[in-house]
Amino acid sequence: MKISIEDLGEPDLEFGQGELHRDPKRVLPFAGPFASELDVEPKVIRLGLVALPSEVSPVYRWFEKMHSPMMGHETNALRFREFPGVQKALRCSFEIPDKFVRRLNKNQYDLISSQNSNEHFEGLLKLYSDAIKTLFEDQRPNCVLVCFPEEVAALRMSNPLLTYIEQRVLERVREEEESAQGLLFEPTAEERRASAELLPQAEELLFRNFHRALKAECMNMHNAVPLQVIRRQTYITAEAKQSDSTRAWNLSLALYYKAGNIPWRPAGLTKDTCFVGISFHHLKRRSGDLVYASVAQAFTNDSEPFVLKGETVPRDQSRNKQPYLLEEQASNLIKKVVDRYSSRMGFPPARVVVHKTSRYQPEEEIGFRDGLRSDVAGCELVWMSPTGFRLLRRGMREPLRGTLCTIEGRDHYLFTTGYVPWWSVYPGPHIPSPLEIGACGDTDLPERAQEILSLTKMNWNSADGIGRHPISVSFARRVGTIMTEMKEDQEPNPLYRFYM
């Protein structure tokens, strides 16, 4: 058996002053975020706050603290660097003006919490969303902080719209999904979550999740701005699971992006290329049929990521238990992406790379290529999926993140997780599991793998600067989970920052 192993290296990111580096925490304090200038006044990011009265002062204290340096208590100082204060880290400051603070009525909150499951869920959803809506006026904050007590953060309920038969069908589907994951992975919680991130999940329709429901409720309101949910473990050090420094890095970065700024972008991606992630998710139609919904997410270096909803797919439109698009559906979806890209940029992309979380069916390949033929010169169709493949370096060391293993010139495995040399550690509890990648038609797989690796660095929820999945599929996945809360004829908000 012929095995080829190649280290693709860690892709660079582009920061302020054109600085290139792989590690955001190391370079942001010196170069600043992308397109920022060192000799101008820091940006002021105004935040709204929706919270119970008892939480308002602790939140204020935490944000005041974020403007000063914070040390971490983790042992690995290479990965867990000190937070230098938000002005030095991101060239900005956070303000929470009193006019943007909404204190929830505690008596009303307690009364709602004493009701049965359905009334509890719907009552709190109205209480929070009504308060948030009052902030979406002409003068509004850049982002709204929403404080969740622990009981709200964990709140979910059985989906009351499902009939008994539909519920039974979804329960059987969930059992099949869990069984399929067990065949691919050792039954660890982390690896089950990893496979779930790339596959449709019956769980999303069986239960309503409060966090998801609130975002769906608020993102399409008039004058909406993104929400940032925070729990006490974020702003109360005694209850935190991470150090002050790590929490400050991650929260400030997410808020900076949600306020309409770009912390960094990939370096080295070809100009005028549009990366499109295709994903499928469970929905319930008004007719009562359980169907899949398709989602297309587009990422380009020159514009904010955006999303489009595709057509619904009947449950029996699947092969090997994976839904797929017919020729016309694939063609229509990719044309919509190109039209949206052209309206934003003023010209069509020179090249489109489609990422899909299952192998392409012949109908999909024909449809995508036909849909792009008249407007786009280059089209590449790449798929990726979880796998049970494992690899160890000599001495039982984990493979490097960025390792591409090719077997018999046919099967390709990309390690988007693995040993990180500049941290001197593998940041995971188990042996790294790669993504199996492939493509329809001739393409340079190492180049496609390098692009995937670059796009795994676009998770602005974490200042680590690395992730397991490329933004093309992870964003589509986030949109799909929110879409379970939307009406059939409702279009999702197109902007990525509303889903983080």
pLDDT digits (tens, 9 = 90+) for 232-248: 999 999 999 999 999 99
pLDDT at 117 > cutoff 70: yes
Pairing of strands 403-407, 303-314: unpaired
pLDDT at 201 > cutoff 80: no
- Taking alpha carbons only, the member of 470, 474, 477, 438 closest to residue 452 is 470
- Taking alpha carbons only, the member of 316, 313, 283, 311 closest to residue 296 is 311
Residue 138 lies in a domain: yes
Do 78 and 210 reside in the same domain of the chain? yes
- Taking alpha carbons only, the member of 379, 391, 386, 392 closest to residue 338 is 379
For the stretch 11-24, pLDDT in tens is 999 999 999 999 99
Looking at mean pLDDT, say which of 36-40, 130-134, 238-242 comes out highest.
130-134
The C-alpha atoms of residue 259 and residue 145 are separated, in whole angstroms, by 12
Do 389 and 436 reside in the same domain of the chain? yes
Do 250 and 267 reside in the same domain of the chain? no
Pairing of strands 322-323, 13-14: unpaired
Whole-angstrom CA distances from 50 to 4, 46, 155, 199, 230 are 54, 14, 18, 34, 10
Do 247 and 287 reside in the same domain of the chain? no
Residue 178 lies in a domain: no
Do 227 and 271 reside in the same domain of the chain? no
Pairing of strands 227-231, 143-148: parallel
Tokens of 469: 């999945």
* Predicted local confidence at residue 186, as pLDDT: 47
Residue 81 lies in a domain: yes
Last residue of a domain, one of 222, 240, 258: 258
pTM: 0.90
The C-alpha atoms of residue 422 and residue 424 are separated, in whole angstroms, by 6
Residue 187 banded pLDDT, cuts 50, 70, 90: very low
Structural domain harbouring 491: 3-8+263-498
Residue with token string 């949109």: 479
Q: Domain holding 368: CATH number? A: 3.30.420.10
For the stretch 416-453, pLDDT in tens is 999 999 999 988 877 888 999 999 988 999 999 999 99
pLDDT at 174 > cutoff 90: no
Do 249 and 303 reside in the same domain of the chain? no
Lowest-pLDDT range, 106-110, 179-183, 289-293?
A: 179-183
Do 449 and 392 reside in the same domain of the chain? yes
Tokens of 172: 């059987």
Do 444 and 473 reside in the same domain of the chain? yes
- Segment 448-473 shows an average pLDDT of 93
